[in-house]
Amino acid sequence: MHVQQDNQPYDEINVTPMLDLAYVLLVIFIIMTTASVQGVKVDLPKTQATASLAKPGTKAVTINQRGDVFLDAYPVTMEQLDLRLAQYRSANPALSIVIKGDAHVQYARVMEVMELLKRNEITSLGLATTRAAPR
């Protein structure tokens, strides 16, 4: 009669749980990266000339057609936006902001955001547009 002892070392390691964890982390990384790159979809106003504001560390403040405000694809209230911009500004005094306002959003909502930026002494800002078709 052969009795197996529980304190014997294993001959091989089961890597299946480790692979499951790696796949879950990979999916989370892909989702988070895609959300931060794409941002919130808005219908930007069209202009003849557009300038690139692609500085490293540029934050995007997006205002959709309903007037909802987003900071880098995350919905925020005006108070939360004020607090976060103050934090970003203290960490990086040369903070750049690009405002992506929907073409149909109320002008007053964009001005609220611009006044908030002024209160936080953020002077490096731009308005995102898309290139209009040539006439």
Q: Is the pLDDT of residue 56 over 80?
A: no
Structure-model confidence comparison of residues 46 and 127, the more confident one: 127
Q: Which of 29-38, 108-117, 126-135 has the lowest mean pLDDT?
A: 29-38
For the chain, the average pLDDT equals: 78
Q: For the chain, which domains are there?
A: 40-131 (3.30.420.270)
85-108 pLDDT tens trace: 899 888 888 888 888 888 888 888
Q: Which of 15-24, 26-35, 80-89, 115-124 has the lowest mean pLDDT?
A: 26-35
Residue 55: per-residue pLDDT: 63
Task: Tell me if 92 sits within 8 A of 57, measured CB to CB.
Answer: yes
State the Cα–Cα distance between residues 105 and 109, nearest whole angstrom: 7
Task: Tell me if 84 sits within 8 A of 76, measured CB to CB.
Answer: yes
Beta-sheet pairing, 59-63 with 69-71: antiparallel
pTM of the model: 0.58
